[in-house]
Amino acid sequence: MEEILAELEERIQKLQSPSFLSTFTSMFSSKTENLLESQQEFEQLQSEQAEVEKALLALEATLHEVETELSQLSQADSDFTALLDEKLRLMLDAGGETAEQIRTIAADLEASKSERQKLRKVLDLGRILIERLHSMSRSVGRARMKQVHGHGVGALANTILNQVHMQGATGSVQRASQGAGELSRAIEALPVQRGNERDAELQRLGTVIAQTEAMIGGGASLFGGSEAVVQAMEQIHNAMGLAESRLDEVESAIVESETAKRQLVLGA
């Protein structure tokens, strides 16, 4: 019993010792400081979040103002265009030199826009035809790989089997032939400027592409190798390049004509 009391007394003395109290106080102080720092960081984050939310609200308000202004500008532009159209109508009804100039520009605009549509069609059909030729080339290549050769008793069976394999490529061949025909006719429908070498070359390529249609439709490309397909693609690319060059000029002409027409109406 005395030993137990002595041990308890010793523990009490240690707890009351200056070194233990100093260590405990230091630990408690450190924890308290950490807690205060965490609280300060939390309050700082709350403050920053409030500033961000405030900035977002201001930004949303600014965006709303911009959208309102854009809407008003759009309406103003629509109203202005309507007034110009009304003024144009009155000017044309009244006649005169300016009215004739406007009519001439309007006719040029209509022709240019029609040509732009035709040129865009040529480019679209050219891209489609190139893809169809790629597809046809792959289909025909697979059919050739499946072909079998032999003589004697099995020759007839081999011939029939080869024909079956080739028929598997018929769909892609027909689509390529159809695409070549559509492209050649679209090129043929383009207006041609007299003495313009580019337009003449484009028409020549259209004729060549028409011949490609006949060749594909007749099945010659099935047995003529990929060289003919590569050559056809090169001709199509050349035709598309010429069409793009012409389209750039037409786009510029449309902008110039519309500007000139607008200036005539405003200046009257």
Q: Hey, where are the domains in the chain?
A: 24-76, 107-267
* Per-position b or e across 178-200, b if 16+ CB within 10 A of its CB: bbbbbbbebbeebeeeeeeeebe
SS3 assignment for the chain: CHHHHHHHHHHHHHHCCHHHHHHHHHHHHHHHHHHHHHHHHHHHHHHHHHHHHHHHHHHHHHHHHHHHHHHHHHHHHHHHHHHHHHHHHHHHHHCCHHHHHHHHHHHHHHHHHHHHHHHHHHHHHHHHHHHHHHHHHHHHHHHHHCCCCCCHHHHHHHHHHHHHHHHCCHHHHHHHHHHHHHHHHHHHCCCCCCCCHHHHHHHHHHHHHHHHHHHHHCCHHHHCCHHHHHHHHHHHHHHHHHHHHHHHHHHHHHHHHHHHHHHHHHHC
CA 19 to chain centroid, in Å, comes to 77
Alpha-carbon gap, residue 216 to 103, rounded angstroms: 47
Evaluate the CA torsion angle 97, 98, 104, 106 in order and state its sign.
negative
List all residues 6 or more positions away from 199 whose beta carbon is below 8 Å from its beta carbon. Answer: 190, 192, 193, 246
Considering the segment(s) 107-267 as one domain, its CATH architecture is: Up-down Bundle (1.20)
Q: What is the pLDDT of residue 153?
A: 42
What pLDDT score was predicted for residue 166? 52
What is the model's pLDDT at position 244? 96
pTM of the entire predicted model: 0.62
User: Splitting the chain (268 residues) into consecutive groups of 10 residues, what average pLDDT does each group show?
Assistant: 62 58 60 72 80 83 82 73 72 79 88 95 95 82 56 45 53 85 94 91 93 70 59 92 95 92 80
